[in-house]
Structure 1
């Protein structure tokens, strides 16, 4: 089919003054733009009814499959306003590819990359004024494409009716503390994903399983929770919503190897490619919890940081364990490589330095 995502303008968009009020007090995921993109897939007819319409509630039958079996996937990427007013995406094709890998794992249909990008282009054609000016900060328009089983049927099988939707939310920094080092709660009680499961897919179930541990983290004054592997609880995997990296004193940039239980983040892969520019040797391998703590305590691990689309790169200063141990990263957690990689990534995304890799895509 030919993807158009034709726009039906919202008859009651928010006024310029209302939009300015939202953009003047940015949080994360609290406010949404005036429109959303939609498309429908059926087993017999494939994809159809692609459109951009007024943002609003989606009506679901109580028997809608996603409410019972969680068959859904989503993505997260951002639109960035450059100094000249143009609007750009960062490696959106990678998000489209991961969206389809996630969909395949959850028994959902593939959405062509062409459609994924067209939905963003059309949404921004009417909501471009919602992309914040980044001057003085790191503001952006967070884009949330998602797909869910929308058939009214409670039998246990893949849905024969699927809905794709794209919404957008103007966003400030993910952590209110900015680039200040955060504390991490380490859990051995809970697991995020196991071998053969959905750990490599970006689906709600993975995040739902992390929430109780995240609640414990918050109770202990920590910003995020670090999970070990489900089989032995001895290997570092990832945080509840971000990948993790360490920088060693001998110049290695190490992150756990993605083996089906870790989400392969677009930010993660970008950092691995940028590492050599800072004289670091990128390494993906199995990484033990004991190696992490011993390295931090001895100083052999000089920096630790988390990364993801929402938070970009966030330095980690301390790890707190369930047994009451505290492991503090040298210098409190803010290292030159962490901040340097972060700045380089942001400079590419906001067009402040040349994009020599073809990672950015102008959208408006």
Structure 2
């Protein structure tokens, strides 16, 4: 089976921005991008993207999960990178059009169609290190994916790192540069302590991992860092917190220190998890700090599994969409 995110539909949809505004979106071959070697994105990382999914329901209809929120976050990232303003209605229609075009290729649950809108600066200028790109390209790429847990879900090992994932004022931008800056710590953690991911905790402040938000479940309470500019405002995170409130759980969005985290995870029944588009909600079994392993709770993932299933049920059409999260494609 192909690795998650490595299979693509043969076509994508694209629009370009210049002094005349946005071009009419067109469907092109997925491998047809041409960039000048001096393109702003290649030198000054003017790039942002989104990740969302389309799901096939039992009656064959196709729905996209929380499209409006992903479009809004791409707008936010583009603004923070000083890229040309994204046309909201145009991007929304681009997503709907390309997903509808490949509706037959949307897998049945637990598979889905992964949708990757991407915005990059294309102006050919290597003299604009301190100036924005005045030209850009917006495209929507599709990747049919299977079950993220096809090989079986396992509790993750996280190394607590006393550094930031990226520049504190850029954490809320979904930009490639932020992911790149986390690679070396992650690779080192895998090699030295067999960790799956790094949980970045600058100055003892528990933030996020290299590619996901962090949630702590202590009894009927969820504790997670309050939103600020230092980390990504996850849409899956928001969805999980909303479903937790629906179930009567207490949601505490606040500062969480490493000391408090390590104290709490030693209590029986405590759980920890990572939230993100690909895996939805993944259990964390071990935290590694100062050379010592801390098992999380008693090794159970009942709350994690229940919340992940509750979200999947909405996405797959087997539970009522009470929050209006689904957009019908066809």
Same fold (TM over 0.5): yes
Distance 1:278 1:335 in 2: 17
Q: Following TM superposition, by how much is the alpha carbon of 1:283 offset from its aligned partner in structure 2, in angstroms?
A: 1.1
Q: 1:40 aligns with which of 16, 24, 45?
A: 16
Alignment partner, residue 305 of structure 2:
339
The offset of 1:154, in angstroms, is 0.8
Cα distance in 2 for partners of 1:85, 1:148 equals 34
Partner of 1:359: 325
Tell me if 1:217 matches 2:189: yes
Give me the whole-angstrom Cα distance separating, in 2, the residues matched to 1:351 and 1:292. 36
Deviation at 1:210, TM superposition (A): 0.5
2:262 counterpart residue number: 293
CA distance in structure 1 between the aligned counterparts of 2:194 and 2:62, rounded to whole angstroms? 37
Q: Of residues 184, 203, 211 in structure 1, which corresponds to 2:175?
A: 203
| Separation in structure 1 between the aligned mates of residue 132 and residue 44 of structure 2, nearest angstrom | 9
- Name the counterpart of 2:278: 310
Structure 1 segment 87-106 matched on structure 2, within 5 A: 87-106=62-81
Specify which of 95, 100, 117 is matched with residue 145 of structure 1: 117
Q: Gaps (5+ residues) in structure 2?
A: none
SS of aligned partner of 2:232: coil
* Match 2:7 to one of 31, 48, 52: 31
Q: How does 1:51-130 map to 2 (within 5 A)?
A: 51-130=26-105
Paired position in structure 2 for 1:260: 229
Whole-angstrom CA distance in 2 between matches of 1:310 and 1:64? 30
Counterpart Cα distance in 1 of 2:88 and 2:214: 28
Q: Which string of whole-angstrom CA distances, capped at 9 and with x for unpartnered residues, describes residues 280-309 of structure 1?
A: 10110011011111111244x711111011
Cα deviation per residue 1:316-361 (whole Å; 9 max; x = unaligned)? 100123x2110101222x3221111100000000101111111111
Query: Distance between the aligned counterparts of 1:274 and 1:150, measured in 2?
Result: 40
Aligned match of 1:320: 288
Runs of 5+ unmatched residues, structure 1: 1-24
- 1:137-173 CA-to-partner distances (Å, cap 9, x unmatched) read x211111100001111112211111000111111123
Q: Secondary structure at the match of 1:62?
A: coil
Query: When the two structures are aligned, how many residues end up with a matched partner?
Result: 327
Match of 1:240 in 2: 210
How far did 1:83 drift?
1.0
Question: Cα distance, 1:174 vs. partner?
Answer: 3.5
Residues in 2 aligned to 1:316 and 1:176: alpha-carbon distance in whole angstroms: 18
For residues 308 and 99 of structure 2, what CA distance do their matches in structure 1 show?
Answer: 26
Query: C-alpha separation between the residues in 2 aligned to 1:79 and 1:278?
Result: 25
SS in 2 for 1:38: strand
Pairs within 5 Å for 1:179-190: 179-188=153-162, 190=163
Say if 1:297 and 1:328, in contact at 8 Å, map to a contact too: yes
Q: Is the 8 A contact 1:35 1:52 kept in 2?
A: yes
- Give, in whole Å, the separation in 1 of the partners of 2:296 and 2:326: 34
- Partner Cα separation in structure 1 for residue 72 and residue 16 of structure 2: 19
